[in-house]
Amino acid sequence: EAQVTQNPRYLITVTGKKLTVTCSQNMNHEYMSWYRQDPGLGLRQIYYSMNVEVTDKGDVPEGYKVSRKEKRNFPLILESPSPNQTSLYFCASRRQTLDGFYGYTFGSGTRLTVV
């Protein structure tokens, strides 16, 4: 089944303890992206990657890192999490063509709480 798999689904951690949220897709999509969703603010893009070894900042990249060493994986790294990073996180992938006109496949989300 074509899907984007995020892990973990739920995570409670303490301030300053480094964590990684994994994202993997099995559709050979070039494009992958991370978003956070907060009440009243909606979805906001954190980082995206147009292909292997190509990453770029989205709207709210501060406090996050990403890497794209292989096509299927796009982990989100919080080096020193803070309570304002408590949020619902989504990973998504998409085929990337010259005109870019394909829909997204989203992961199921990761609910992160930083205390």
Residues that bind other proteins (CB under 8 A): 31, 33, 40-45, 48, 50, 56, 58-59, 88, 90, 92, 99-106, 108-109
With a CB cutoff of 8 Å and minimum separation 6, the contacts of 26 are 2, 3, 5, 72
Closer of 15 and 51 to other proteins (Cβ): 51
Minimum distance, C-beta of residue 78 to other proteins, in the bound complex (Å): 20
Closer of 7 and 17 to other proteins (Cβ): 7
Q: Give the Cα-Cα-Cα angle 64, 69, 70 (nearest 5 degrees).
A: 120
Sheet holding 19-25, edge to edge: 4-7, 19-25, 76-78, 65-66
Minimum distance, C-beta of residue 80 to other proteins, in the bound complex (Å): 25
